[in-house]
Amino acid sequence: MDYISTRGNAPALNFEGATLAGLASDGGLYVPRSWPSFTKAEIAEMAGLPYAQLAQRIMLPFVADSLSAERLLELTTAAYGRFAHAAVTPLKQFDSQQWLLELFHGPTLAFKDVALQMLGLLFEEFLSRPNADGTTRNLTIVGATSGDTGSAAIDAVAGRAGVDIFMLHPKGRVSDVQRRQMTTVLAPNVHNIAIDGSFDDAQAMVKRMFNDTAMTSRFNIGAVNSINWARLMAQVVYYFAAALQLGAPHRPVAFSVPTGNFGDVFAGYVAAKMGLPIERLIVATNVNDILHRALANGDYSAGTVTPTAAPSMDIQVSSNFERLLFDLNGRDGVAMAAQMAGFESTKAMALTNAQREGAAGLFSSARADAGEMAQAIRWAYDASGELIDPHTAIGLHAARAAGIDASVPVVTLATAHPAKFPDAVERATGHRPLLPARVGDLFDREERCAELPGDYDAVAAYVAARATPKA
């Protein structure tokens, strides 16, 4: 399997190359040249597999040019061995139709761990392979976070040889738990930067660095955000895990996905392409609703970001939407590059008919405001005694409003542990969720974080002064 850019003007790469490259050199995102798929019988055979084995089966077609099946299983076993629940991503039932897929049993309490524990191991694996002249490579990871990617990526690479990580977060716009999970990791290869601005500003700076030759000529810039294909590949697995438990491939399942950068729900789209019978993918947003507007009426135009109690979804430019638009528009890289150039200059874009109609076949969408989010937190607590976080609540609100046929199970992805956002959960229910013991003495640890203006040159200079140059 090789990987091509959505903008059609970058070299095709194998899995190892795409993983280390992160973003394509033409500014596009790497996608597999074609979607591998499983037959109904092959999917049925996966029922009951332990998570690490299921992950190996699902990922193998994507990585086979770079990893053997045996090595892949060693990596999935190591990655998912660190999860606090034996099922890795357990399902909980609310009522006869509504289910919750708990994705927060990893080390940093959010769904990002599922992919980033794997990505950390993949980086280590590929960077340890010698070049033709016997030297090895290093990587300067530059990432943007609205709270969860940062801590999960830092946990996955802290202290690893050959990797420096520079993580940008919007100052004052992540929860205290999220910030501390990043800033209390004092390993010398970890650099936290709080910038003045929004997550979108941070993400734009990261993408710009990949195309800044002054930086790329000196450093091997790498990505941990979901612009990196390997992130999404690892997230496909839990759609299979959940659907198999609910009767797939003999019964379709719908998923409701709290959405910001469109990575998690795009992984669901990939699962459908691979043959998993998905009835509907419900894209749930908070009031930062660019994706809801795009799917409902074709209007992909970025407004100003409004801070909410679900800060990780305070996003108005959704990187991975480009992957979907590319796939739905006949995979025409030239057209995609023109469409994205238009968006980058005007911050607005109209979907083509093919994109609108293609998306409507599988996706629907909903937007939840603060009141609807709080109501969903309360509903979950009353229905099951379960405390859910504000992001998950937005998904649950959309799941219950979607009008899916009663015979189809609807699974809401629980993307973060409620204790990451204790204030909002307590306001809604009167109960304050406790941090699990595995995060330890988070509030007693020393913090280290630089503060920079929301200015690309300042960030680039900061990185250049501290990163390890290419070997």
Ligand X SMILES: Cc1ncc(COP(=O)(O)O)c(C=O)c1O
Ligand Y SMILES: N[C@@H](CCOP(=O)(O)O)C(=O)O
Q: Which residues bind ligand Y (CB under 6 A)?
A: 145-150, 225-226, 260-261, 263, 312, 319
Lay out the site mask for ligand X across 52-91 (x = CB under 6 A, - = otherwise): ----------------------------------------
Lay out the site mask for ligand X across 245-264 (x = CB under 6 A, - = otherwise): -------------xxxxxxx
Least separation in angstroms between CB 421 and ligand X = 9
Q: Look up 112 and say whether it is catalytic.
A: yes
DSSP string of 304-343, one letter each residue: PPPP-SSGGG--SS-TTHHHHHHHHTTT-HHHHHHHHHHH
Residue 174 burial by CB count (10 A; 0-12/13-18/19+): exposed, middle or buried?
buried
Annotated catalytic residue within 112, 171, 207, 420: 112
Q: Taking every pair of C-alpha atoms in the chain, what is the biggest distance, in angstroms? A: 63
Question: Which of residues 106 and 263 has its CB atom nearest to ligand Y in the complex?
Answer: 263
Binders of ligand X in range 132-151 (CB under 6 A): 147-148
Question: Which of residues 56 and 312 has its CB atom nearest to ligand X in the complex?
Answer: 312
Least separation in angstroms between CB 251 and ligand Y = 29
Q: Which does 416 bind (CB under 5 to 8 A by kind): ligand X, ligand Y, none?
A: ligand X
Q: Which does 22 bind (CB under 5 to 8 A by kind): ligand X, ligand Y, none?
A: none
Strands 348-350 and 299-301: antiparallel
Q: Which does 79 bind (CB under 5 to 8 A by kind): ligand Y, ligand X, none?
A: none
Q: Which two tokens stand for residue 223?
A: 């990505």
Q: Which does 145 bind (CB under 5 to 8 A by kind): ligand X, ligand Y, none?
A: ligand Y
Q: Is 391 an interacting residue with respect to ligand X (CB under 6 A)? A: yes
DSSP string of 374-435, one letter each residue: HHHHHHHHHHHS----HHHHHHHHHHHHS---TTS-EEEEE-B-GGGSHHHHHHHHS-PPPP
* Best CA proximity match to 262, nearest among 199, 321, 322: 321
Q: Is 312 an interacting residue with respect to ligand X (CB under 6 A)? A: yes
Least separation in angstroms between CB 265 and ligand X = 6
DSSP letter assigned to residue 278: E
Tell me the one-letter amino acid at 326.
F
Least separation in angstroms between CB 113 and ligand X = 11
**Spatial distance between the Cα atoms of 85 and 105, rounded to a whole number of angstroms:** 6
Question: Which of residues 56 and 261 has its CB atom nearest to ligand Y in the complex?
Answer: 261
| Residue 107, H or E segment | none
Q: Which does 228 bind (CB under 5 to 8 A by kind): ligand Y, ligand X, none?
A: none
**Spatial distance between the Cα atoms of 308 and 334, rounded to a whole number of angstroms:** 37
Determine phi and psi for 417, rounding to 5 degrees: -70, 140
Tell me the one-letter amino acid at 451.
E
Q: Which does 289 bind (CB under 5 to 8 A by kind): ligand X, ligand Y, none?
A: none
Least separation in angstroms between CB 241 and ligand Y = 19
Question: Which of residues 234 and 313 has its CB atom nearest to ligand X in the complex?
Answer: 313
Residue among 416, 428, 459, 463 that touches ligand X (CB under 6 A): 416
Least separation in angstroms between CB 433 and ligand X = 14
**Spatial distance between the Cα atoms of 24 and 386, rounded to a whole number of angstroms:** 42
Q: Three-state DSSP class for 6? A: coil
* Residues in contact with ligand X by the rule CB under 6 A: 110, 147-148, 226, 258-265, 312-313, 391, 415-416
Active site residues: 112
